[in-house]
Amino acid sequence: MRHFTVHHDGVTIPVSRGGRGRPLVLCPGLNSTQADLSELAELLRRDYDVVTFDLRGHGLASGADRYSFDAFLSDLVAVLDELERHDPAAAPVLVGYSLGADLAVRHAAERPGAVAGLVLIDGANPLPEPFITDIDLAEFRAMARDQARSAERAKGTARQVLLTARDIFALGQEIDEVRSKILDRYREIDRPINMIMSTAIAGDSTEGRAPRHNQLWRSGVERLVREQPHIATSWLDTGHQLVFTHAPRIAEIIRRAHHPSAAPAS
């Protein structure tokens, strides 16, 4: 394992790299860290040269004055640029979880040829209508407060999140807006795309907002695949924590989609 840091935009991004084979970059999502993704990373390191990192305000990365989609995207780009400087010929498979999936799609759309393929885990969904409507605002604010309180317990560890409840709530709304336009981004990508999605992103309740949101989540993917049938989709019968609860299954899907033997050893 190698550990190094990337400095850009006034923040310090910790990066870990280890394994063998084709390069694979694992991008975490909002309120998740590379420490949270350690099981998946270790499983993938058996067959890939895996790079993990923390987004600003998460894990061992430094905090920032601003938290936005574009700011997080700049963190991903800074890490990928650093890797390219060391090995310009080896375009990585880019695996993104939740917000990380949205960042991966934006990067691949803006830099054709910069990645070998995408694996999108429960994110980057071109929703046909907003996920957060006016009637959902109070509940999503409460969820943001709960997430911020949970993050307090991890302060000072590799799993800490420095964002406030207000930051988390605002980012949720911004991500909703990003997804309303993401279909156009997919049209600009000419690399293999695999999606690994949860059937119950809003939980398994049959009451309240869960049924609508779960159906909306499925409808967004179905909309995408109708337009671009080459996109492969795997559905896991679980919730949004799938990357933590189903790491072996996700690693298996990634190996099947991007076979390690198809790439030269690093």
Question: Cα–Cα distance between 204 and 191 in angstroms, integer?
Answer: 33
Question: Parallel, antiparallel, or unpaired for β 11-19 and 48-53?
Answer: antiparallel
- Strands (E) across the chain are located at 2-8, 11-19, 22-27, 48-53, 93-97, 117-121, 193-198, 232-236
Taking each helix axis from N to C end, the angle separating 165-180 and 99-110, rounded to the nearest 10 degrees, works out to 50
9-51 pLDDT tens trace: 999 999 999 999 999 999 999 999 999 999 999 999 999 999 9
Q: What is the pLDDT of residues 130-182, one digit of tens each?
A: 989 998 899 899 999 999 998 888 999 999 999 999 999 999 999 999 999 99
**Which domains are seen in the chain, by residue range?**
2-128+180-257 (3.40.50.1820)
pTM: 0.95
The owner of tokens 């000072």 is 156
pLDDT of residue 111: 93
Tokens at residue 250, please?
Answer: 């996700």
Instruction: Pull the structure tokens for residue 60.
Output: 């061992």
